[in-house]
Amino acid sequence: MIYLSLAIAPVVIILFSIYISDSYNREPIGLLLLTLFAGMLAVIPVLIAGVVLSVFE
């Protein structure tokens, strides 16, 4: 559980800094979270491709 917390902490810090730094035109928090979720989903095909390609080594 500590490793998960250590992995998520930089993401939370970056999201918070993006949200706070733009004082004139802040992005909606839902859009930031949607982008985060899309980034997490984008890792799945890369992991599958890595597993499939490692068979050919």
Q: Using only C-alpha atoms, what is the Rg of the chain? A: 16
For 25-34, letters b (16+ CB in 10 Å) and e give: eeeeeeebee
As a whole number of angstroms, the distance between CA 19 and CA 15 comes to 6
The one-letter amino acid code at 9 reads: A
Could you report the per-residue pLDDT of 5-54, keeping only the tens digit for each?
898 899 889 888 888 888 888 888 898 889 889 988 999 999 999 999 99
pLDDT at 46: 93
Helix (H) or strand (E) holding 9: helix 2-21
Per-domain boundaries in the chain: 2-54
